[in-house]
Structures are given as C-alpha cells and as structure tokens.
Homo-oligomer: A and B are copies of this chain.
Amino acid sequence: MAGPLVASNRGPVTFTGGVPRRGGGGLVTAVGPALTTEDGSVWLAAAGTTADRAVARHRPSLTAHLPEGSLRLELLPIDQAEYDAYYNGVANEVLWPLLHQLLDLSREPSFDDTFGRAWRDYREVNERFADACAAHPLTGGAFIQDYHLALVPALLRNRRPDAAIAHYTHCPFAEPAALEVLPAAVRTELLAGMLGADLLCFEVPRWQRRFLRCAAAAGYPVDFATGRVTVGDRVVSTGAYPLGVDAVDLRRQAATQPVRAECRRLRDVVGERTVIVRVDRMEPSKNILRGLAGYRLLLDRHPDLHGTVTHLVYAYGSRTGVAAYRRYADDVEQAAHDINRTYGTPDWCPVVLHTEDNYPAALAAMSIADVVVVNPVWDGQNMVAKEAPTVAEHPVVLVLSANAGAADDLADGAVVVNPFDVAELATALETAVSMPAGERQRRHRCVIEAAKARPPAEWFAAQRADLAVALHERAGATAFPLTTSGSLGS
C-alpha cells in the first residue's frame, strides 16, 4: 500500500548545528509509525530557523530516525522575513487567537497594509507547500496539518485536481460571528482554501459543527446531518477525530527511572497532603491565572484545608519572546507568590510552581496526583486531561473545563466547570478533595476508559480510511486503496 504524505509547519525533528532532535508534538507519535522509508511516504515541514534552513539547503530530503521508526523528511527552506510574516504575523498573532476567541477586540487585530503583506507571505508559504506536495505521486493521500497551512488544500487541488487531500485542524474552530472579524477577502480565501480538501478533520464534533456553520454563513450548501459541504461540483466530507492516549506507552514512560526518582522526591515534599496538579504551557488560553484564583478561593473559604493540600503547578515557558506571554508568566508567578505569602507557613507551601520544561517531572506529578485541574479558556482537545488520569497511581478526580474539546469524551467522569467561573472552580476543587473513595474510583475508571478510546495509531488510520471512502465516492478519483481498518466513523 502506498504511504501517505504529511505536511506540517513544524517537522518531527528540528536541528541544532545539524544534529536532529525529536520534537515534542503528539503528531509525531500518531503519524510517525505510519510513515516508512520504503513505501513512498514522506513528511514535509518548513525550515524556518537558521539551523533548519542550513540543513535544508544541503539535504532537502533526508531520513529521520525516530523512536517510532525511520521516515523520509523533506524540509522547505523559508527565508526569515517571509517565515516571520507567515508564522507570527498571520498564524500566531491572528489565526490562533481568533480560533481560541482570545482577541481583545477593542484593540486587536487591526488589519492594516502590514497585515496585507503578511497575508501575501502566508499565501506564498502555502504555495510553496502545495508545490512541494504536488511533486509527489500522492497515491497514499496528502494529510495537511493545521491552520498554518489552511490554504494548501485548494492550492494543491489546483495543481493536482485528482489528488486525495485531507486537512486536520489541531485547535478549536470559530463561530461565524468570530470569523467575521477577518477582512472579507481573507475569510473567503481561508474557507475556500480548507474546502479544497476531500476530508476536513476536526478534534471534536463541536469544532466540526462550527466550521460547518461558517461554511453555511459563507454561502456554501451544507448538509449538517452528514457533515458534507458542496463546493462547485465537489463534495467535501468533514469529521471529528478526537485523539486518545496510548496507555501502555504512557505507563511505560511513567515507570522509567527518572520519573520514579522524581515521584519519590515529590512524595518527600508533599507528604500525606492531597495533591492538586496542573501541567500546561505558560499560555493565556490555558487559564492558569483563573486556576490559581480558584485555588486561592478554596483556601479562603476553607481554613480547615490549610496545610492539608498542595497545588503543584507545571507551566513551562511558551513564546517567551512575546510581551503578552511574558506579562502573563509574570502575573502567574505573582499570583502563586501571593497565595504562598498569604497562607504559607514554615511547614507548608500551598503552591509549588515549576516553569522549566521537564516532562519526567510533570509525568511524576501526574502520577502522584489526587486531583488534576485542566481549565483552559478554550482548547482544541487538551491531552493532559487524558494523560494525567492514565498515569495516576491513585484514583484521581479530573476537574475539567467545559471549553476543552476533551470534555466531549470525558464529561461523564470529570467534574466539569465553566473556565470563567472561579467560584465554580473553587467549589469543584472542594468537591474533588472531599470526594468519597467509591465515587472517586468510579469517575477515575470512567475517565481512563474514555481517554484511551482512540489511541494515536487508530486516530490516523481512521482519517486515512475516511479519506479513502471520500475518494471512492468521488467520480474520476485517483485510485486510492481503502485501508484494512475500514472507516471508524466520526
């Protein structure tokens, strides 16, 4: 069977002085095993840093050796100014906050001529990806990743009308009213770009429905029952593909020596206290400030809990070059400090904040957790909500934002909160720390079962199968074999 083509902004490895280092993304875990060096499969990624560009210039096509196996990697060198405009000017500063409803609309965005130029660079980088994709036979289908490459499906369709094209959005999608913030021409081009695909994949049905409403608002005929959009003489399928955890692999990682050592160290620190854990990028969408406010309110309301709980907060740096992110990180540190100053004693530190990126330490904290807090303002899926309960050694209570995509899968077992409602979060934490053992166990089991429902390999297989189905239904399509797993539906 012909292997797939995967295209994403960031590749499975990045380079430092020519030395490859595996990236942290879950996409590698999910997609890596489906790619080999023998079946024509390939991963295309942007070379946007100086080091990556240096590699790309000498070895535009190379073999990357990963724990998941070896695969062929093609790096597209993009020059610095163009990459900045595409990646920061459009993707990070406009599309990301727009899709996460995090724009302070009284001031931003402001679509001036600078944005107009950035949008042309964004289109140009998408064209480069489309050219690179089109140079491959594509007999295993093209799987384009995320909002960085939203125009690639239509651009590739222009070059290769018969290609089998899927696109996956790894974040929420916007309501039509939110999408109307974009300049009309940009909004039109963005939707038309995505709708060049045969199959549009979203993390959960909520984001899929939002996309369908946007398509309908833009005038495309939409069948909400089947999730199909008519684009001229083509039909575009849509589906939701929530990513689950690979429980066996996660527990294997949690059993490694560095994680066990960190668990013992943490146990010494927290003693017999109830451990409330959160693990996030330091990121406004993750809602760490309101999380701390909720914990503080719990302590305000319950002097009886003082000294009996510890909140371990792992919030590792993200986009530290952006002023708003630095300000957010400063405010998080200040909030943690204020809680400790108000309530801490020589024997008890109410909040322990870690800001370094240390996955073994975070995994150790998840392992010893009694309560896990995942309260993003908005989040496409949120894997911590699935990973932490999976590795927890004791029955754990998951306090989960209704606005995380993961709530679609985990709502039955989790204590679900409105992420803006700090008072509700404090009540949920109170419920969690005082929950009777029986209910705690029942909820924990329920969350674990749901978390592993669609592990990474199955997640990608389902997309491949559904793309094949979409192709079979299309007259005059390039031959594209059904994978043996068949359609898993959506």
- Does A359 lie at the interface of the complex (its beta carbon under 8 Å from any beta carbon of B)? no
Residue among A107, A175, A285 with the highest chain B CB neighbour number at 10 A: A107
- Does A440 lie at the interface of the complex (its beta carbon under 8 Å from any beta carbon of B)? no
Q: Which residue of B lies closest to A324 (CB)?
A: B106
- Does A96 lie at the interface of the complex (its beta carbon under 8 Å from any beta carbon of B)? no
Report the minimum CB–CB distance from A424 to chain B (whole Å).
Answer: 6
Is there an interface contact between B424 and A107, defined as CB atoms closer than 8 Å?
A: no
- Does A304 lie at the interface of the complex (its beta carbon under 8 Å from any beta carbon of B)? no
The interface stretch among A49-57, A97-105, A240-248 is A97-105
A177 contacts across to B, CB distance below 8 A: 101, 175, 177-178
- Does A459 lie at the interface of the complex (its beta carbon under 8 Å from any beta carbon of B)? no
A456 to B297, CA, bound (A): 49
Q: Which residue of B lies closest to A178 (CB)?
A: B177
Copies of this chain, complex-wide, total 2
Tally of chain A residues near chain B (CB < 8 A): 38
Report the minimum CB–CB distance from A202 to chain B (whole Å).
Answer: 16
Report the minimum CB–CB distance from A460 to chain B (whole Å).
Answer: 30
A111 contacts across to B, CB distance below 8 A: 418, 420-424
Contact flags (1/0) for A75-119 with B, using CB distance below 8 Å? 000000000000000000000000001101111011111011000
- Does A377 lie at the interface of the complex (its beta carbon under 8 Å from any beta carbon of B)? yes
Q: A293-B110, A297-B113 are in contact. Are A183 and B418 (CB under 8 A)?
A: yes
- Does A444 lie at the interface of the complex (its beta carbon under 8 Å from any beta carbon of B)? no
Contact flags (1/0) for A449-483 with B, using CB distance below 8 Å? 00000000000000000000000000000000000
- Does A181 lie at the interface of the complex (its beta carbon under 8 Å from any beta carbon of B)? yes
Q: A102-B106, A177-B175, A184-B418 are in contact. Are A297 and B112 (CB under 8 A)?
A: yes
Report the minimum CB–CB distance from A428 to chain B (whole Å).
Answer: 13
Report the minimum CB–CB distance from A335 to chain B (whole Å).
Answer: 11
A45 to B111, CA, bound (A): 42
Is there an interface contact between A112 and B420, defined as CB atoms closer than 8 Å?
A: no
Is there an interface contact between A112 and B293, defined as CB atoms closer than 8 Å?
A: yes
Is there an interface contact between B113 and A423, defined as CB atoms closer than 8 Å?
A: yes
Q: List 18 A-B contacts (CB under 8 A).
A: A104-B104, A106-B285, A106-B328, A106-B377, A110-B289, A110-B290, A110-B293, A112-B297, A115-B423, A116-B423, A175-B175, A175-B177, A177-B177, A183-B420, A183-B421, A183-B423, A183-B424, A184-B418
Q: Which 5 A-B pairs have the closest CB atoms?
A: A106-B284, A104-B104, A112-B422, A111-B421, A183-B421
19 further A-B contacts with Cβ under 8 Å, apart from A113-B297, A116-B423, A175-B177, are A102-B104, A102-B106, A104-B104, A105-B377, A106-B328, A106-B377, A107-B284, A107-B289, A110-B420, A111-B424, A112-B297, A112-B422, A113-B423, A175-B175, A177-B177, A181-B418, A182-B420, A183-B420, A184-B421
Using a CB–CB cutoff of 8 Å, the interface residues on chain A facing chain B are 101-102, 104-107, 109-113, 115-116, 175, 177-178, 180-184, 284-285, 287, 289-290, 293, 297, 300-301, 328, 377, 418, 420-424
